[in-house]
Structure 1
Amino acid sequence: MSLAAGNKIDVTVSLASDVVAAIEILPRVRPPLARLFAGKQASSLLNVLPRLFALCAAAQQIALLSAVETARDEAITRATKQRRIALIVIERIADLLRSLFVGHLAQDVAGAAAIRSLMRGMSALLGSAHSPWGSAQCEATARIVGALNALGMSDEGRAVRSGSPLALRIAALDEIGLKPIPADHSFLSVADDLNIVKRLLVDCPTFCYRPDLDGHVPETGPWARQMTRDRLPPSPSGAAERLVARIAETLRLCAWLKAGAQIDSAEHGIVERYKLGFGRAAAAVECARGRLYHAVELDPQGRISRFEFLAPTEWNFHPCGPLVRSLQGAVLTGRPRRDAVDAVIASLDPCVGFTLSFREVGHA
């Protein structure tokens, strides 16, 4: 969900010898959408969102449209809901694959043929995203699944073929030279929606910049979804585990598309709408990096008088959030140390670029 104009997150890691003593995060500059949208008809803004956000444009559009429709007490048909969910899923697959390719497979010569097939499948799937569901989407998803199988993943991502490109990449992430200390984990879910959307329109604007749920900051994204959906016990939360979760989710979403993209078997909570009073409503959309929220208040003429949004990055890169929990107190055993921290940051997939710097301190 990066702005086309671009911005970044600044991360500073303080080291005492090789121990991470502190992590400081200077958040990105959020786009002033509340000011830009005020006084405008929602219909005039839908085509603006893809120009403001280079990633997750469909999720942004559907979140805004769903919030406005709910504020107006407009019902949507089952067919419309199904089409929107399929569009979100296709965009999510594309974002997950893009992260996989750019972050992990771009230099993999051994898997070049499978990677080319993967990219062709992704391009075909994106090209068919707005068409009625049919053979084109099925063929594209089959190509993606076949390419991931060739790269080493099978059984919805739970098994990795020994010696395969993905197995080698996962092993490399396991050996990046970072020993974390045990940490408590919490995960954002649909159960948190109502609390969050009410606070978006009631609390002071700082909530959008530094959100929390009763003082804690949950993780959102593929690994968080996997842990919540499968009710898994606490486990290591390193870059390797998050990579496996991304691949598993891609295969699971492809399986849903191949089965016909039926609304009854869609992921729970992928799009939710909330009425918050007269002319006020919100929507939540589960996109590639996690849960996205839009909240609106309309004036009597149907124009937007207030708009707030909350993206996954604000949770994962919160000064007290998942990135800090993953690094605080960890021992960096490998060289260069930057590679280990880079891998953890990339595993949380920020929607904007980031800078990383280190400083030495006297003690942990």
Structure 2
Amino acid sequence: MSFAARSKIDVTVSLAADVVAAVEILPRVRPPLARLFAGKQASSLLNVLPRLFALCAAAQQTALLSAIETARDEAITRTTKQHRIALIVTERIAELLRGLFVGHLTQDIASAAAIRFLRREMSALVGTAQTPWGSAQREATARIVAALAALGMPNEGGALRSGSPLALRIAALNEIDLKSIPAEHSFLSVADDRNIIKRLLVDDATFCYCPDLDGHAPETGPWARQMKRDRLSPSPSGAAERLKARIVEILRLCAWLKAGAHIESAEHGIIERYKLGPGRAAAAVECARGRLYHAVELDPQGRISRFEFLAPTEWNFHQRGPLVRSLEGAVLTARRHRDSVHAVIASLDPCVGFTLNFREVGDA
């Protein structure tokens, strides 16, 4: 987000000996979209969003457009829905890959040429995603799958090639993994949508800054999706597990695109629309970092009288959220504690930068 580029998340970890006694999160400053959008014609804002959101711009546009259409009681065709889902999936793959390149393969000089090729092919695919899905996109996806295989990523369901850059990265993350205490995990899903969207326009704006579901802040993102979809045990739950979930999702989404991006086999709940009353509606979109919500209220002239949005980062970096649950009570080795905590924060992939500070306190 260009507004949020001037913002960041500050994380302070308090250590008592080698135990995490407390985790304090100073959240980012969210862009003031509710104030900026108020009184504007709803349709005039759609082209503004890509300039406001550097990340997941297609998801942001789709969420706002879907909410506006629903508030106006406008139906969409099956073809339009399929196209939007393919666009969201393409953007998700691009964002998930970006996280791999920036967060895990930056120093891998041996793979630089393969990564450059993959990035070019991904950019080309994103560029064609605005057009109806066809043979050109399927061929582009096939080239991306082949490029992923060259980096050691197998076809869907396979294991990473031993000795590949990502296999080595996972092994390195396992070496610095935290000795965490057992924590209760909860995961955001489409089943939570109605509870959340009602509060977007009913509660005051503080809900969008510090959301909760019955007092809990569930995790959202690739690992949460994998846990819900495959009904897996959330143990272990460290940075390595979240990286593996990211890889699994990239391969699964590529397989769906390569097979033709058919709406019948699309991920459940990837784009959902909800009517909340006359001129009021919301939409949810499953984007790379998790579930994104937009809610609008239109006046009789079609202008926005209220707009609220809730991004995945507000859940994952909640003061009682998954990051805090992952760190509090964990035992760290003094030599590598900064690396291990940094890896956990990065595995939750905030949409803005973050700072990490440590301080020593008394006994835990």
TM-score (norm: length of structure 1): 0.97
Deviation per CA, 1:181-232: give whole Å up to 9, x if none: 1111000000000000000000121111111100111000000000001111
> Equivalent residue of 1:331, what SS?
coil
* 1:298-317 pair list within 5 angstroms: 298-317=298-317
Give the letter for the 2:352 counterpart: V
Q: Distance in 2 between matches of 1:146 and 1:78?
A: 31
> Equivalent residue of 1:153, what SS?
coil
Q: Distance in 1 between matches of 2:246 and 2:5?
A: 27
Deviation per CA, 1:218-262: give whole Å up to 9, x if none: 000000000001111231111100001111101111111111111
Deviation per CA, 1:303-343: give whole Å up to 9, x if none: 10000000000000000000001111111125242111111
**1:174 shift after superposition:** 0.6
2:22 corresponds to which residue? 22
The answer as to whether partners of 1:89 and 1:253 remain within 8 angstroms in 2 is yes
Unpaired segments of 5 or more residues in structure 1?
A: none
1:291 corresponds to which residue? 291
Q: In the superposition, relative to structure 1, how do residues 30 and 134 fare at CA in structure 2: closer, same or farther (>3 Å)?
A: same
The CA RMSD over aligned residues, in Å, is 1.3
**1:107 shift after superposition:** 1.3
2:132 corresponds to which residue? 132
1:102 aligns with 2:102: yes
1:239 corresponds to which residue? 239
The answer as to whether partners of 1:14 and 1:23 remain within 8 angstroms in 2 is yes
2:68 corresponds to which residue? 68
1:252 aligns with 2:252: yes
Give the letter for the 1:356 counterpart: L
**1:4 shift after superposition:** 6.0
Q: In the superposition, relative to structure 1, how do residues 44 and 212 fare at CA in structure 2: closer, same or farther (>3 Å)?
A: same
* 1:134-213 pair list within 5 angstroms: 134-156=134-156, 158-213=158-213
**1:133 shift after superposition:** 1.5
> Equivalent residue of 1:156, what SS?
coil
1:343 aligns with 2:343: yes
Unpaired segments of 5 or more residues in structure 2?
A: none
Give the letter for the 1:14 counterpart: S
Q: In the superposition, relative to structure 1, how do residues 90 and 22 fare at CA in structure 2: closer, same or farther (>3 Å)?
A: same
Deviation per CA, 1:127-185: give whole Å up to 9, x if none: 21212212332222112211222222224255122111111000001111521111110
> Equivalent residue of 2:104, what SS?
helix
Deviation per CA, 1:276-321: give whole Å up to 9, x if none: 0111100000000000000011111111000000000000000000
**1:17 shift after superposition:** 1.1
* 1:21-60 pair list within 5 angstroms: 21-60=21-60
2:10 corresponds to which residue? 10
1:79 aligns with 2:88: no
TM-score (norm: length of structure 2): 0.97
Q: Distance in 2 between matches of 1:25 and 1:140?
A: 41
**1:14 shift after superposition:** 0.3
**1:359 shift after superposition:** 0.5
Q: In the superposition, relative to structure 1, how do residues 5 and 77 fare at CA in structure 2: closer, same or farther (>3 Å)?
A: same
Give the letter for the 1:180 counterpart: S
Q: Distance in 1 between matches of 2:328 and 2:8?
A: 21
Q: In the superposition, relative to structure 1, how do residues 2 and 266 fare at CA in structure 2: closer, same or farther (>3 Å)?
A: farther
The answer as to whether partners of 1:38 and 1:307 remain within 8 angstroms in 2 is yes
Q: Distance in 2 between matches of 1:152 and 1:120?
A: 18
**1:111 shift after superposition:** 2.4
**1:109 shift after superposition:** 2.3
> Equivalent residue of 1:196, what SS?
helix
Q: How many residues are treated as equivalent by the alignment?
A: 364
1:225 corresponds to which residue? 225
